[in-house]
Structure 1
Amino acid sequence: MSVLVMQLAGPLQSWGAASRFARRSTENAPTKSGVLGLLAAAQGRRRTDDVSDLSRLRFGVRVDQPGVRLRDFQTAHHADTGEPMPVSERFYLADAVFLAAVEGDDRLISELDRALWAPVFLPYLGRRSCPPAEPISRGIVRDSELEAVLRNHKWIASTWYQEKRKWEPTIELGAWIDAAPGERADHEIRDLPVSFDPAHRRYALRGQKHLTVRFPNPRGHDPIAALGGE
């Protein structure tokens, strides 16, 4: 098995799993449906194409920089009549950085990595108005497991954010990973895509397991040592 590692970073992101009507919310971390949709678009798949092979990939995401939640209001008019539509309330995550990864068959993982470097349809972070600020692919880890990658990959938060946390001797990051078959889930979310077809979008429930990742702060600064103390 191989793991495709991705960096999801941009000025704005929005990963909805329970949006209804004029209120478009966002989860605090990328959804599996959003990331698989990004990968499917990079490959050039149409919304009506089968995505069952992607849905079988094991998915995980680590919150390296949580960002700030923003709320926006948007207006629109009917194209034919010019009548105003209800005001839309939309939520975003600003300045967030996530480490996302999918685990699966070597061949499929390699195809997805190539697609990210030469996408057929441009990727976006949950919504078309949210382009990525950095290349998405961070390469493939061969002969490894998803959880190990999330625990061992270096911290990819922005430099300014890492500097902000330099007084912490240990960095603690939250992560979510697909619960294995038969494993008890800590949380369930309806974001497992069955079909992206606009005429009949369908999503199944997915069980998630929460992880806490800890490691020594690579930018750690001991103020006592700086003063010559012990």
Structure 2
Amino acid sequence: MTGLLLRLAGPLQSWGERSAFAAVRDSAPFPTRSGLIGMFAAAEGRSRDQGLAPYAALEFTVRIDRPGVRLIDYHTVGGGYPDHLTAATSGGKHKGDAVITRRHYLADAVFVVAVTGPQDTIARIADALREPHWAPYLGRRSCAPDEPLLLRAHTADPVQELLTRVPLSEPEPRLRRSPQPETTVPVEFLWERPREPLPNNAVEVTVNDRPVSFAQHGRSHGKRTLYRTVEQLPAALRTEQNTLHEQLIDYVQQVPA
């Protein structure tokens, strides 16, 4: 097994979990397994009808550098058109009027994700992210990622990189550091595989984001269990916003340990 590292940051992200095609399009508070695998499949140019078996062995660990602020955007869809061009109903007719939707986003969020899996799968995904067939996005097509997206294409232990080496983004103003010197800072993690021994502060989270099929007329998802913990990371990883990009580029260009 080997792995890669992604940094998911941008003005907006939206990781839908429960509300496909509903009037309220929600967002999970962190990147979903479905959203990440969808990103990889799109980068590789896979159609929706192709199976997802190539991604089954992947394991994700998410570091929440900045959870972001929830934003709700009011939308209308299909207004001002002839009936036959408006949104279709389940019975095959058309609504005629505009459909109102409210779409949830995470504004100014930052996540760093360790992706672990078989070496050939990791190498194939990394190559696709460097030269994607369809451009990656953060849950929705309107949510473009900041650069660098791919921090490391290959590393023997990406989780250890999250814990000890990858620069931390400066948190939101209300969470910024105290004036007292710090040696460690608390950072939230989400684990698919529980750490051993499981920390006392671990909280189980059940989510419905394990993709079974992306087929246009047969999308389906299953449940998985995550473990949320708070880890104490070296304070030296915390980076001021005005130097963050330079620190990230330095990290990208370093030879993997």
TM-score (norm 2): 0.76
2:2 corresponds to which residue?
A: 2
| 1:84 alignment counterpart | 97
Equivalent position to 1:167, from 171, 179, 182? 179
CA distance in 1, matches of 2:98, 2:68: 30
Q: Bigger shift: 42-51 or 75-84? A: 75-84
Query: How many residues are aligned here?
Result: 217
CA distance in 1, matches of 2:85, 2:208: 36
Q: Secondary structure at the match of 2:142?
A: coil
Listed one character per residue, the Cα deviations across residues 65-93 of structure 1 (whole Å, up to 9, x for unaligned) are 11111011100117624522331011101
Give the corresponding residue for 2:251.
none
Aligned to 1:227: none
Asked whether the 8 Å contact 1:174–1:213 carries over to 2, the reply is: yes
CA-to-partner distance for each residue in 1:98-121, whole Å, 9 max, x for gaps?
A: 001211111110111111110000
* 1:97–1:156 contact (8 Å) kept in structure 2: no
Deviation string for 1:108-142 (max 9, x for gaps)? 10111111110000111000110112131111343
* Distance of 1:25 and 1:31 partners within structure 2: 12
CA distance in 1, matches of 2:97, 2:63: 40
Cα RMSD of the aligned pairs, angstroms, is 2.6
**Distance (whole Å) between structure 2 residues aligned to residue 3 and residue 166 of structure 1:** 34
The aligned amino acid for 2:73 is D
In the alignment, residue 9 of structure 2 is paired with which amino acid? A
Superposed displacement of residue 159, structure 1: 8.7
Q: Is the CA contact 1:179–1:209 (under 8 Å) kept in the aligned structure 2?
A: yes
Do the aligned partners of 2:170 and 2:176 also contact (CA within 8 Å) in 1?
Answer: no
Contact kept? 1:188, 1:208, Cα under 8 Å: yes
For structure 1, the 5+ residue unaligned runs are: 221-230
SS of 1:46 mapped into structure 2: coil
Structure 2: runs of 5 or more not aligned: 87-95, 240-257
Aligned match for 1:135, one of 148, 151, 163 = 148
1:121-172 Cα distance to aligned partner (Å, 9 max, x none): 011100011011213111134332x5434322423315986x9436362321
Partner residue of 1:214?
Answer: 232
Identity %: 35
Q: Aligned to 2:219, which of 181, 201, 205? A: 201
1:15-26 aligned at under 5 Å gives the runs: 15-19=15-19, 21-26=22-27
Give yes or no for contact 2:114–2:159 (8 Å, CA) kept in 1. Answer: no
Give the deviation of 1:18 after TM superposition: 1.3
1:121 aligned to 2:122?
Answer: no
